[in-house]
Amino acid sequence: MKLRSEFAPWDAELLYSVPGLRVADPKACQCGEVLKGVIKPWECKVFGTACTPETPIGTCMVSPEGACAAYFNYGRFSMASERTRLHVVPQSEITRP
């Protein structure tokens, strides 16, 4: 990713010299797809297993505002409310005529 030339005055890569700094994305990380909306965070192969807020692999899990971290921390609440909204009846409570 690179800034367009009209934003050059604010481009930190041009303003500051950090020699030899190369950061490659881990192969397992799918942050690019998450950020583009191609996949949801939980669809990443390592979401919640190898990649958690305590052991982040990609940038989306590092910051609490990151999409993956937000889904990891708060997704269970939305899934719980969804179950409540649907009012799932356990099999044992179903009476048959």
Q: Among residue numbers 43 through 62, which ones bind ligand SF4 (CB under 6 A)? A: 44, 46-47, 51, 57-58, 60-61
Match 């919640």 to its residue by tokens.
Answer: 48
68 binds ligand SF4 (CB under 6 A): yes
The 8-class DSSP code of residue 87 comes to T
35 binds ligand SF4 (CB under 6 A): no
- Which of 2, 73, 70 is CA-nearest to residue 34? 70
29 binds ligand SF4 (CB under 6 A): yes
- Which of 58, 51, 88, 96 is CA-nearest to residue 72? 51
By CB under 6 A, name the binding residues for ligand SF4.
28-31, 34, 41, 44, 46-47, 51, 57-58, 60-61, 68
